[in-house]
Each structure stands twice: as structure tokens, then as C-alpha cells.
A and B are shown apart, each in its own frame.
Chain A
């Protein structure tokens, strides 16, 4: 089955702890994205990557870090600097970010809660 997988489904973070959210896709998509969704709000872009070994900050990158060492993988680390990390985190991918018309498809999401 082709698609985007995210793990874990639920993640609990203690104060001062870094946690890493996994995102894997087997769609052979070039671009990958991380969004955060808070209750009653739209999706906000954290980081995106158009190509392996390159990534760019989105609108709310502070307190987060990413890597893109493989085309199929784009993990997100929520660092202790992110003071309000409780949210629903969504990973997405698209075929060609330069095409201007490529649709983004979403993984099932990870819900992060602070203990």
C-alpha cells in the first residue's frame, strides 16, 4: 500500500524533554511538510523540504527541528524550547513542489501531549 505513515499515534512529553515524531512516505514524493493543528485553528506550517538534504522554516519553526537524509523520511523533533507543544501534528507530501499545482496528501497524524 502506498501512503504516508506517522508514528506514534500518541506521544507524551515530559518537561524539558525532546521528542521525535516519525513521518515516512512510499509515494516517491519529492516534497514533505510538517504542520501543527491546534483546536479550532487551521493548519500552520512548521518546516518543509523540497529535496533530500534541504529544508526550510515555515511560519512557526521556533522550538522544532527536522532532517531530510532520505527521500522517504522527514522526522520532526519537538525540542524543550517549544513551550506549548500540545497539538495535533500532521505530515504531508507532494509530488513536485515546483509544479505549482501539486496536491499535498496527509498522514494520519500524531497527537502530542505534555505530562
Chain B
């Protein structure tokens, strides 16, 4: 079992729709969770971080964390073509603070 799993996609949504990106992790005692966006050929940039169960909203983005189910998600409301990118889920391991990355979900937002 991979430590952090994401559906590789592509996830295709029309402009204006809600995009839902999902991630599961195997280390039950993980404490910190991050979503990064990566455009083709570029480096990852932080979208959201979340540490507690529940929802965290930042503009059009909402991160959701359920530690009991070992599940973290990212919702993008009013999706725009400029949101088309690969979204990487990253989980901070216990012990040394090592970030473990999923392989990413490719999102395509069509006009």
C-alpha cells in the first residue's frame, strides 16, 4: 500500500463547476496535510495546509480532513481553466518531519 494515494485522473470538470480532489494516507498518526498545485514544467506551489479535522476554507478552495478515515480532500469552487494543473497531496510523517507526496491528480477545467 502506498503511503499517500491519489487518483491520477485526469479529472475533467466544466468551467464554473466544483472540482473534488481526494487523497488517502496510511500513517494513522500523521499530523499535517498539504495540497500543492503544480503546473506542467513548474515547481509545486502551496494551496492549502490543514491540521485539524473538519473544513478549512481559503477563497475558492476548501480542504477537508477526516483523520478517522485517513482521508483529506480539496474542493475547488467555481473552477477556472487556469486551475488546470496537477494537484499534489502531501502528508507530514511523524518522527522527522518528512513530507510524503502522492503522485498527484491532474485536473482539466474546460471553458
Contact = CB atoms under 8 A, between A and B. Distances in A.
Contacts, number: 54
Given A94-B97, A101-B49, 19 more contacts: A40-B8, A42-B4, A42-B102, A42-B104, A43-B88, A43-B99, A45-B98, A45-B99, A48-B98, A90-B43, A90-B44, A97-B96, A100-B97, A101-B92, A104-B99, A106-B36, A106-B45, A108-B42, A109-B42
A98 interface: yes
Contacts of B31: 100-101
Interface residues of B, number: 24
Nearest to A96: B97
Interface residues of A, number: 25
Interface in B19-45: 31-32, 34, 36, 42-45
B103 interface: yes
Nearest to A111: B41
A104 B103 CA distance: 17
